[in-house]
Structure 1
């Protein structure tokens, strides 16, 4: 059963609302503008819903329009207010200089202000109203600027944090101002009493789908005597204020929801909702002991929790919850795909780690005790899965993560090499954001940290190696204090040693000056055959699609070409390279793959470019490099920016492939904590060998074996949504295995047992 905890994004449609919508389509389907009996019935239905809404919202003499939703309501409000400001200006009134909006407003508000301000030629100064640490508006700022404001836009309650605005305080701050005031009431509908006519609010948009009505229906309150300019002109519906034939099924459904607010049975009262939230908060704290809430609960809606967990990104948490069939979000659904830190939490002044790892949990007022019980159980199960995967304190791992694990932060890669037999581990290119997580992993798996190595010194920041040692010692990782006391050079290599032993593996260092004067690679080999390098950790010397830039003060551009030749001599063309940065999620590469994609590298390796010519051409590439998409310094000029497109399979296509090529290998790239929480289909029972679990973070361990397979052997990758499996398949194709596929849409679109293709089973 799905536990849906993303109600601030949208809600399911209430049963009564579905019935009302179907009845409107089947029986009361008339056009409310028609004057015959069928049309009059539709008009009566619409009028009844409007009257109920007017009473519940306390609109008094104000108008209440039906429209498509909050975005249209915001656009209409801003257009109306700014049109009135332009009319005032034409009459000589130049008092309005500012358009103000809350810094935590939904993006629809500042975008609407910017759009209509430009289109109407007002060119007023648009400013964000600061908020405090609690997420509430700075009333002193409002008082200082109210006299010059033409329009002020604030929320009744924030969609990400649930923080309730001090509307009375805002109204008092606007005293004496002639500005127009819009209040976004979307999250308040059914949860707060707004008393619209009792305040000087000029406009208030609402959206039905946030409270169990279908998408595509909303309301807009317009205060009596407030100026109004129609956004939609045409047939004159809604008293010529919003033209277009009314959405009768949506209006009927919204009416059923509003009626449910009155019946005393369908929705929980505020006290019950606060009790539900408290139980969810307790379950979260039990699952994630270090969790912090990002907004004060007493100032927030009783249906919203926003939290962060130190050391865990929002992506990890979202994948974790989704694996347990618990739907939460990282913030506003409208910006979720951009995967950026929460601008709402940034405006509140929260530290970067909180804004980048925030998760929003929200439920609707129609949930019941049984739903909350199951939600709490699933949340606790998520905590157990993390502990058993060594990502949270207190776990007992079911298996050790032997081999190489990759961690990525904003395109920068950190590598953990762990040996099961010797319980020894090495970290390469540490990142400060990962210190606590790595320390926890070492402790949980009983690993002795032998070395923390950088592949080069950093011109713009200090290495985080010392901080990682400190975190490992503080966590109680085995022998970390003893190993930390050993003398090391500037890159962390133990003095006096030519190699590091990791059980049956050895790690050697190869100097590669170029990116920096001290750049090097670490070569991982089997102890029995040191010349056969399995993986070369090359830092930023060679990256997928790029060579490390050499225009820093600490670079050695004239030595770069010789270093590349030295690397080729040491490892050959097909040895896997583990980079220090991987901006396009290609995981690993080889000199062969890079020479095919990068003419500069090919020229050096085939002898057609000498050191000076290589350095000159490389310098030209590196002129004016822009910041990365993560707003970090680009560590190389990309010459191959396009990843090989994976081949996509739908469930039917996978069935055909399994029938025709039974040697197909199907690979689950989800992380262990996800695999522990969710069911996996057996793909119609057609797999002759067990499903292979190879988490994306450990993909590099399996690449040599897969690349050695016959070229025609199909590899089919799947994950939760299809995104990570597409990355894995594209990486294989780029490295030369063309028969690499991704299951399009992942498990999210795989047929469930009730609607699966014939023979599909879940295990």
Structure 2
């Protein structure tokens, strides 16, 4: 939805910028496929007139394909898509190579390091199946994605096959085919050479017959044809082994009744590429202009943007970029809310993760993790580009709603922050507490990746930073506390973790504890060593009126003392399981069993916990809290617990071993229909939209008037802790966030929680 000046809302039209993943089927191609299914449905292998009419479509499509790719006397074989073509090429090459292997010689199989995963995985598969046991080697690329010719020259003499990519699907970087040809054949005249041309079709000129390429693969659904149709080029006299045997279709090269509707659609696309249609594709020159327009709009929307590839050696239909301070998921969610479709790196994986392509190019980790790909095809029009550019700028302005930018030209007034916010980077957490009345804030366990975001937020909200504190010295990251303190608290004197040295002191149960004031709350510090010797816990509570009173603790920031489903590890050189035993009992004595615990790590997206929630699944913690175990036995069990810690690859150090079951809570799932029916009943259901406020601003259903971003879920839990019987239904973009949040609420005692399966992506009201 879009906010209009008169306050009304209207649906946003779709802006599709993910053509490298797949394209829509053009109306002309769809009509041709439908007509083929309805009137020219004959089996091309039949000798009657209906069959001959069908065969003519195949012959026309084949000839057009040969013209487009410059096949010369080479063969064009129709397949189900590029993956089948890759299997066929690799099987053909390796099946022949096996016949002439020299047992005294070591062989290799080469592929580009930025190649689509279908290639190296297929090489490994057939290498194993055929028992060739050659070494599969990745050809390095330089910082602009070009293959290392020196490496190829050195390795290709022993290569049974080399696989390269004409145009990369993530960056659009194209390879110098002529230079590759020279380098390969100067060092090995006989090795089989396959080229993935999927992203090259319609975007670059191809003349395959003038190269020594043995095999080239293509896929129809990347260029406006239906899924399930593709083709491959096989050079004249190149070795070939059918991947699919059977009825002998495709002159015995690929059996199986041909996909006639798909071929008819492909034939229309080829006519457009060849200029034989009233409708033709946009010229390459115009596509370059389109890319410059989008790049300019992105730069206007995100002035700090970094493009992950050079426009000098990439096709104009692909733009890969990263925005400092934002994860790829945040930008994808933003664009999705604005009805702009983009992807995070390659769309062939459902998980948002680092781009192996950008890693191979040697780009910084943050660029790889934050990469966004925009891609379009040659059917893109000037009107569509203009609409896309306008929408990109509009979407970025919505970030001001969440104070993620300081852009004053925001869509609506910014949302004033209040209470607790949780920020996550990987498995690590930072916590920001804001007192709205005094416009003051504290920042706990500050992560370096959040430095600029916090500064922007403080400026945008006009907040006064009272303190920035670490609960302990972190072994898995460098705190940004010093940088923030220099900018906002230069005159404040603190200890090594940021606790102000001139803080007040209170007495609780006969012991003295330092505290600082934040609005109408106190933040009390207590030493809770165990995970490390310097470990502390920070308790946000109501002011202490009498030394004999129990604390009313709202949040306990306990670092890595208690983790969701575990206890902090105690096998560091600065750890002490004995000290942890005492710290756990002290913490429970001060916060009780129902105060919300906010640790510095959340490895399983559980957001927050309490002692009540933890002792139900952590028997060791339960025994300590209830004094059923002494220190000696605790030491034995804690040592055993730590043996289950498995550190993640890379720099992340796990600060606790998962021992509890974190993902088996069943959540009631609603569909559009069942939720509509439920809302019609007198059950007082409250609908909660869990998307971030910038997503909510750009579009939400009228039923969802309550916006609780995941960053504020812990505050929501606290605010509703006395009303856990209220029926709640949670929704987000895809259903992932709503399911996680629902599990958290159920684990913490909320009784009637469900979520909309599939989220906004699959359901409308």
TM range (shorter): over 0.9
* The one of 389, 401, 405 aligned to 1:376: 389
Quick check: 1:146–1:173 contact (8 Å CA) kept in 2? Answer: no
Q: What residue number does 1:171 align with?
A: 181
- Provide, for residues 676-732 of structure 1, a one-character-per-residue CA deviation record: whole Å limited to 9, x for no partner: 111x2234xxxxxx7211111111111023332153x21100011111111111100
Q: What residue number does 2:295 align with?
A: 281
Is the alpha carbon distance of 1:743 and 1:290 closer, same or farther for their aligned partners in structure 2, counting shifts above 3 Å?
Answer: same
Q: What residue number does 1:214 align with?
A: 226
Is the alpha carbon distance of 1:630 and 1:728 closer, same or farther for their aligned partners in structure 2, counting shifts above 3 Å?
Answer: farther
The offset of 1:526, in angstroms, is 3.2
* The one of 517, 520, 523 aligned to 1:501: 517
Output aligned runs, 1:179-194, within 5 Å.
179-194=191-206
- Provide, for residues 133-184 of structure 1, a one-character-per-residue CA deviation record: whole Å limited to 9, x for no partner: 0011111211222212221111110000001111111111112312111110
- Provide, for residues 264-314 of structure 1, a one-character-per-residue CA deviation record: whole Å limited to 9, x for no partner: 733100111111111100000001000010000121111110000111010
The whole-number CA distance in structure 2 between the counterparts of 1:393 and 1:289 is: 12
Q: What residue number does 2:590 align with?
A: 570
- Provide, for residues 73-108 of structure 1, a one-character-per-residue CA deviation record: whole Å limited to 9, x for no partner: 11111111111111122xx59767111100000000
Residue 441 of structure 2 is aligned to residue 431 of structure 1: no
* The one of 32, 37, 51 aligned to 1:20: 32
Quick check: 2:334–2:694 contact (8 Å CA) kept in 1? Answer: yes
Quick check: 2:597–2:610 contact (8 Å CA) kept in 1? Answer: yes
Quick check: 1:73–1:220 contact (8 Å CA) kept in 2? Answer: yes
Residue 126 of structure 2 is aligned to residue 116 of structure 1: yes
Q: What residue number does 2:465 align with?
A: 449
Q: What residue number does 1:755 align with?
A: none
* The one of 55, 68, 82 aligned to 2:80: 68
Quick check: 2:328–2:352 contact (8 Å CA) kept in 1? Answer: no
The offset of 1:66, in angstroms, is 0.6
3-state SS of paired residue (1:484): coil
Residue 717 of structure 2 is aligned to residue 717 of structure 1: no
- Structure 1, 623-632 or 204-213: larger mean CA deviation: 623-632
Number of residue pairs matched by the alignment: 731
Q: What residue number does 1:154 align with?
A: 164
Output aligned runs, 1:186-335, within 5 Å.
186-261=198-273, 262=275, 263=277, 265-335=279-349
Is the alpha carbon distance of 1:20 and 1:94 closer, same or farther for their aligned partners in structure 2, counting shifts above 3 Å?
Answer: farther
The whole-number CA distance in structure 1 between the counterparts of 2:724 and 2:301 is: 45
TM-score normalised by L of structure 1 = 0.94
The whole-number CA distance in structure 1 between the counterparts of 2:739 and 2:753 is: 9
* The one of 640, 645, 653 aligned to 1:620: 640
Q: What residue number does 1:639 align with?
A: 659
Q: What residue number does 2:498 align with?
A: 492
Quick check: 2:448–2:478 contact (8 Å CA) kept in 1? Answer: no
TM-score normalised by L of structure 2 = 0.93
Q: What residue number does 1:757 align with?
A: none
Q: What residue number does 1:687 align with?
A: none
Quick check: 2:75–2:236 contact (8 Å CA) kept in 1? Answer: yes
Residue 575 of structure 2 is aligned to residue 561 of structure 1: no
Quick check: 1:598–1:640 contact (8 Å CA) kept in 2? Answer: yes
- Provide, for residues 453-494 of structure 1, a one-character-per-residue CA deviation record: whole Å limited to 9, x for no partner: 111112455433113335xx2xxxxxx1xx233211111101
Quick check: 2:730–2:742 contact (8 Å CA) kept in 1? Answer: yes
* The one of 68, 84, 90 aligned to 1:56: 68
Q: What residue number does 1:729 align with?
A: 742
Quick check: 1:85–1:96 contact (8 Å CA) kept in 2? Answer: no
The offset of 1:645, in angstroms, is 2.7
Is the alpha carbon distance of 1:96 and 1:179 closer, same or farther for their aligned partners in structure 2, counting shifts above 3 Å?
Answer: farther
* The one of 100, 109, 114 aligned to 1:104: 114
The whole-number CA distance in structure 1 between the counterparts of 2:329 and 2:499 is: 33
Output aligned runs, 1:461-480, within 5 Å.
461-470=477-486, 473=487, 480=488
- Provide, for residues 488-515 of structure 1, a one-character-per-residue CA deviation record: whole Å limited to 9, x for no partner: 1111101131222221222111211111
Question: What residue ranges of structure 1 are gaps of 5+ in the alignment?
Answer: 474-479, 684-689, 752-759
- Structure 1, 41-50 or 625-634: larger mean CA deviation: 625-634
- Structure 1, 24-33 or 174-183: larger mean CA deviation: 174-183
The whole-number CA distance in structure 1 between the counterparts of 2:205 and 2:341 is: 28
The whole-number CA distance in structure 2 between the counterparts of 1:309 and 1:532 is: 42
Is the alpha carbon distance of 1:161 and 1:710 closer, same or farther for their aligned partners in structure 2, counting shifts above 3 Å?
Answer: closer
- Provide, for residues 208-258 of structure 1, a one-character-per-residue CA deviation record: whole Å limited to 9, x for no partner: 000000000000111111111111011111111111111111111111111
- Provide, for residues 187-223 of structure 1, a one-character-per-residue CA deviation record: whole Å limited to 9, x for no partner: 0011111201011110000000000000000001111
Q: What residue number does 2:365 align with?
A: 352
3-state SS of paired residue (2:111): strand
The whole-number CA distance in structure 1 between the counterparts of 2:566 and 2:106 is: 52
Quick check: 2:475–2:653 contact (8 Å CA) kept in 1? Answer: no
Quick check: 1:512–1:519 contact (8 Å CA) kept in 2? Answer: yes
* The one of 13, 23, 28 aligned to 1:11: 23
Is the alpha carbon distance of 1:659 and 1:528 closer, same or farther for their aligned partners in structure 2, counting shifts above 3 Å?
Answer: farther
Quick check: 2:617–2:661 contact (8 Å CA) kept in 1? Answer: no
3-state SS of paired residue (1:350): coil
The whole-number CA distance in structure 1 between the counterparts of 2:714 and 2:476 is: 29
Quick check: 1:182–1:204 contact (8 Å CA) kept in 2? Answer: yes
- Provide, for residues 650-677 of structure 1, a one-character-per-residue CA deviation record: whole Å limited to 9, x for no partner: 0111122212244111101110111111
Residue 612 of structure 2 is aligned to residue 592 of structure 1: yes
Residue 93 of structure 2 is aligned to residue 87 of structure 1: no
The offset of 1:617, in angstroms, is 0.3
3-state SS of paired residue (1:317): helix
Quick check: 2:476–2:651 contact (8 Å CA) kept in 1? Answer: no
The whole-number CA distance in structure 2 between the counterparts of 1:206 and 1:380 is: 35
Is the alpha carbon distance of 1:619 and 1:490 closer, same or farther for their aligned partners in structure 2, counting shifts above 3 Å?
Answer: same
Q: What residue number does 1:514 align with?
A: 530
Quick check: 1:96–1:149 contact (8 Å CA) kept in 2? Answer: no
The whole-number CA distance in structure 2 between the counterparts of 1:681 and 1:278 is: 35
- Provide, for residues 394-420 of structure 1, a one-character-per-residue CA deviation record: whole Å limited to 9, x for no partner: 346622222111111111111111222
- Provide, for residues 330-370 of structure 1, a one-character-per-residue CA deviation record: whole Å limited to 9, x for no partner: 011112x2222000000000001100000000011111111
Q: What residue number does 2:433 align with?
A: 417
CA RMSD of aligned residues (A): 1.6
Q: What residue number does 1:386 align with?
A: 399
Q: What residue number does 2:511 align with?
A: none
Q: What residue number does 1:533 align with?
A: 553
